[in-house]
A and B are shown apart, each in its own frame.
Chain A
Amino acid sequence: MANKKVSVWTDIQFWRRSAAWVTGFATILLIWLSFDTIGQITMGTNADLKNGVDKRVPAATVINYHIDYKMNKKRGHEVPVIGEKQLFFGKEWSPKDAEALLRLGKLTEQAKNCMDCHTLLGNGAYYAPDLTKAWLDPAWQKGGPMQGMTGKNTVEEAMAEFLQHPSQYPTHARMMPNLGITAEEAKGLVAFLKHMSSIDTNGFPRNFSKTVAQFKAGDTNAH
């Protein structure tokens, strides 16, 4: 065995070289794909929104628009649809103010540690509902139980009210704790949630969100 090669398959040198090549190749491919992906998930601009250019992650000013989540026949799953202008907390936000609000929301999300109970984009903890499309959840819309409970008239106001006093609006024995969220921080969080719901997540969550009433009635959703 000493210096005569019996077979390449038992040759350490061969495996070491192969390991180095394969690792190098995989790394380069990953870096190359990452550049492409980063380009695609960089936030769009306010101009993109005005011109109807679809971005996977739209600009912060998307909070000034109506957002929906609709089946797209071509892609075979639901995608966010950005619609008409819509007031957010009773006004239209300038790009600068919208960006600042989103930033406050993201900072608050981290500082209050939302992800150790909830999932965002499906990542995090599994103690509380996924927040990816929370903004679009029927429970928060007009006539939905959450909006009804807070006694507010818009999704954003209902959410902001709940976030400031969550344990005053329990829906289940498992409640969200009071995290000391201020009125400003709550607005930021709602902007963050609305922005997140406009991200193109390749159809996750799927079939969002049949109601429990439909389920209980045995509705098949067939039309």
Chain B
Amino acid sequence: MLTSIKTNEFRGDKSKELGMMYFRVALILFGAQLLMGLIAAIQFIVPGFLFELFDFSVARMVHINALVVWMLYAMIGSVYFMLPDETGVETVGIGLGKLAFWVLTAAVTVVVLVFIFIQVGSGTETSIWLINEGREYLEAPRWADIGIVVVVLTFYWNVFATYMKGKQTGIMTVLIADLFALAGLYLAGMFFTDNISMDQFWWWWVIHLWVEATWEVFVGALAAYALIKIIGAKREIVEMWLWIEVLMLFGSGILGLGHHYFWIGTPEYWWEIGALFSALEPVPLVAMFVHVLYDWGKEQGKAKAEGHPGAVMNNGPAMAWIVTNAFGNFLGAGIWGFFHTLPQVNIYTHGTQFTAAHGHLAFFGAYATILIGMMYLGVQYAYGVKKLTSTFKSKMAIFLIVFGVLGMTVALTIAGYEQVLVERAELGGGWTAFFAAQDLPWYIQAQVWRAMMGVVTFVGFIYLVWDLLTIGKHAKAAQAAAE
């Protein structure tokens, strides 16, 4: 992944090179995210750990911000990677794209340093502009928000102009519309109000309409592209499925926003609307899962019938991560989301470790997986490898990360049950009820398991980095030896 900086085999495909630049930063931020998660997880079981030096709130803030930012980086990287393939022309503004990359990276560095070293400000507008906006996931101070908007506009212009100039495939048409909505939604999180209900109302517009509408459609488009690229799936079929997915994802996800409007001061009609539409949200996730496996089986069967017995895919690790995505999305977002999406359940589970269980499996299953798959695709082309097969390290990486995240999810689900039943159902919330549940032996045990599974995840991440750094070089050498 690194060698490719100088000696890449993109043969003048500057857009893919730019994509790799985004992937590298994404991977670094992913590592930072995991380290911060580990600190926060330890603080649950050893409360004095880094107390008043690097408090839970700081570790958690960096954990979830690094998460969102690495995913956005990897998403931008993926788009730059696929753009020339889809449009058939070179991306128009590479210079501008590079400039935007450095501006964004400088801004992210400053924001992270301020989060880590300054942490909090006084109760003034200045703090919100310069230090910390204090709204979960959107903690980036306002100056950085504005910078992000400018950079994203540059990116969008680049994609749009290339699209207009080149071929306009179905995948690109979906992406163009989707990215517009994705970028526009960020604006809904950029103002101050002293009304906490209004604050949360708009905050969910960004968070929910990102992860349960625009990001999901983005993943649909990525998977479509990757299936064509990796197993040679037929474009007509893939694109028809993509439109069906868009229909179902937006049809359920947009009004599914109502499942966050049960208890924040908003009117009762959201109970019915939120319940109905969000209960439908798993349907497209099942469809996406079926689609990926079906296409894979179909191409494999076709190859066999034509007398080519081997695997059809030209990138083993990428395909493994994409299949994990299909299943993880369904499991984390679909099943774990459905668990707590009806108001009758949510009145008890709202804001508990149960929510955290769902948040982890959903973000990981739906997004981390496919974006890692795209990184493997990047490595394959950076080294000019015709067929990339999984190494021992690739297998360790995917096994340990998936096992670790599943383990954390199960542990948090158990902790969540304990908390829901004791703090919420038996004791009715409140200060003492909260601590009564936190002190339950089974709850503490679950938190210990979560921390251990976090370590497993982190070891898997080390394998992942190691693999991404070496797999291309070795495959290239093997390919040269065979030729």
Contacts and interface: CB of A to CB of B under 8 A. Distances in A.
A161 B15 CA distance: 57
Residue from the set B197, B260, B352 with the largest chain A CB neighbour count within 10 Å: B197
A113 B57 contact: yes
A156 B418 CA distance: 32
B347 A127 contact: no
Contact of B197 (A56, A113, A134): A56
Interface stretch (B127-135, B153-161, B463-471): B127-135
Nearest to A129: B434
Interface string B416-442: 000100001011111111111011000
Interface string B44-67: 100110011001111011000000
Nearest to B52: A177
B127 A19 contact: no
Contact of A208 (B125, B170, B352, B429): B429
Contact of A201 (B61, B264, B353): B264
Given A104-B123, A111-B124, A206-B424, A121 B432 contact: no
Contacts of B283: none
Contacts of A153: none
Interface stretch (B248-256, B306-314, B321-329, B368-376): B248-256
A185 B353 contact: no
Contact of A110 (B135, B426, B431, B436): B135
Interface in B5-62: 40, 43-44, 47-48, 51-52, 55-58, 60-61
Interface string A203-223: 111111111100100000000
B47 A15 contact: no
Contacts of A179: 120
Contact of A42 (B195, B203, B269, B348): B195
A160 to B, nearest CB: 13
Given A37-B266, A130-B351, A112 B251 contact: no
A113 B132 contact: yes
Given A12-B243, A104-B123, A111 B134 contact: yes
A113 B428 contact: no
Contact of A30 (B254, B265, B266, B431): B254
A37 B267 CA distance: 7
B47 A130 contact: no
A107 B130 CA distance: 13
Nearest to A201: B263
Contacts of B100: none
A19 B426 contact: no
A133 B267 contact: no
A63 to B, nearest CB: 13
A123 interface: yes
A125 interface: yes
Nearest to B258: A33
A165 to B, nearest CB: 12
Contacts, number: 275
A148 interface: no
Interface string A30-54: 1001101110111100000000000
Contacts of B203: 123
A217 to B, nearest CB: 12
Interface residues of A, number: 92
B262 interface: yes
A111 B121 contact: yes
Interface string B124-164: 11011001111110010000000000000000000000000
B240 interface: yes
B427 A202 contact: no
B68 interface: no
A23 B251 CA distance: 6
A41 B265 contact: yes
B134 A112 contact: yes
Interface in A93-136: 99, 102-117, 119-130, 133-134
A199 interface: yes
Nearest to A136: B430
17 contacts: A18-B243, A40-B266, A56-B266, A102-B194, A106-B193, A106-B196, A107-B194, A110-B128, A112-B120, A113-B134, A123-B260, A126-B355, A126-B356, A174-B438, A185-B122, A200-B265, A209-B427
Interface of A: 10, 12, 15-16, 18-19, 22-23, 26-27, 29-30, 33-34, 36-38, 40-43, 56-57, 60, 99, 102-117, 119-130, 133-134, 137-140, 145-146, 167, 171-175, 177-180, 182, 185, 188, 192, 195-196, 199-212, 215
Q: Which 6 A-B pairs have the closest CB atoms?
A: A209-B430, A108-B123, A110-B134, A207-B428, A205-B429, A204-B263
